[in-house]
């Protein structure tokens, strides 16, 4: 396999790869938190929830999150550069921060890690409590505590999802605090495993959020059934035309 030696390509990869990965994952976490906040408004306002206004607000929120996240992480590519190692016969992409920037780097990573998680968790708790209180006021067959336990069981995916996400993201947070270069003869598999496992949450949306929820799973089954029927009709139509 040929090695990439073009200086321009290496430089673009150096300043953009980590920045894009970090930005996209962070944007995804904040958008998930915003969805959780919207669910709270839906449950709280009920029939008074304005879908049209919510869609308009969502557009501005998405743009704002993308801009603020990009601005908060733009310091990373600015401080990256290429260094040629003649002894190792390779080119390193390194980042050097001043003490002030290093403090800011640690703070911003912790902020982007903890705040979306807390928003998701608190939103889930508010939804469960609000639904339990509504059912308790409308139906007196059971106590508020019984309705609360029932909602915890029914809405457990809202709590399980954020917890799984934060557990899988811990290796990425730890690695962001580590400094130094990793040489290939140091058996990097553990480092790479810890790094790439933090990218699992976006790939596990189906398992983490959809399958644990009875409502979402039922909707997924309906969509799959509709797609199968559409595909079956399309194939039948093609066969009829063919013959």
What is the SS3 assignment for 16-35?
A: HHHHHHHHHHHHHHHHHHHH
What integer pLDDT is reported at residue 119 of this predicted model?
A: 93
Helical residues (DSSP H) of the chain, grouped into ranges: 7-45, 51-73, 75-78, 99-138, 144-154, 156-176, 189-196, 205, 214-242
What integer pLDDT is reported at residue 184 of this predicted model?
A: 46
pLDDT: which is higher, 110 or 153: 110
* Cβ(94)–Cβ(80) below 8 Å: yes
Contact residues for 16 (Cβ-Cβ < 8 A; gap 6+)? 77
- The CATH number of the domain where 76 resides is what? 1.20.1070.10
pLDDT over 50 at 8, yes or no? yes
Domain count, the chain: 2
Does residue 88 fall inside a structural domain?
Answer: yes
Which residues span the domain enclosing 242? 217-243
**Pairing relationship of beta strands 90-95 and 80-85 according to DSSP bridges:** antiparallel
Does residue 1 fall inside a structural domain?
Answer: no
pTM of the model: 0.75
Rg (CA), the chain: 24
Instruction: Looking at the structure, tell me whether residues 132 and 232 fall in a common domain.
Output: no
Does residue 158 fall inside a structural domain?
Answer: yes
Does residue 146 fall inside a structural domain?
Answer: yes
pLDDT tens-digit readout, 21-52: 889 889 988 998 998 898 888 888 877 778 88
* Cβ(97)–Cβ(117) below 8 Å: no
């Amino acid at each position: 396999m040929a090695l990439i030696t073009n200086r321009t390509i290496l430089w673009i990869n150096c300043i953009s790869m980590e920045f894009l990965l970090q930005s996209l994952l962070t944007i995804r976490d904040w958008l998930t938190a915003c969805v959780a906040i919207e669910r709270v408004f839906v449950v709280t306002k009920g029939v008074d929830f304005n879908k049209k206004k919510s869609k308009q607000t969502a557009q501005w929120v998405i743009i704002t999150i993308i801009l603020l996240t990009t601005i908060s992480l733009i310091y990373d590519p600015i401080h990256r550069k290429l260094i040629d190692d003649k002894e190792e016969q390779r080119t390193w992409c390194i980042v050097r921060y001043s003490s002030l920037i290093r403090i800011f780097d640690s703070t911003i990573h912790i902020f982007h890690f903890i705040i979306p998680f807390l928003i998701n968790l608190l939103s889930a708790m508010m939804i469960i409590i609000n639904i339990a209180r509504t059912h308790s006021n409308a139906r007196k067959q059971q106590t508020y505590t019984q309705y609360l336990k029932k909602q915890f069981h029914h809405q457990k995916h809202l709590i399980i999802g954020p917890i799984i996400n934060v557990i899988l993201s811990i290796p990425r947070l730890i690695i962001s605090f580590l400094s130094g270069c990793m040489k290939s003869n140091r058996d990097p598999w553990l480092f790479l495993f810890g790094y790439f496992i933090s990218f699992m949450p976006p790939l596990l949306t189906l398992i983490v959020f959809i399958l644990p929820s009875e409502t979402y799973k039922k909707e997924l089954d309906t969509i799959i059934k509709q797609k199968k029927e559409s595909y079956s009709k399309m194939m039948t139509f093609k066969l009829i035309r063919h013959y």
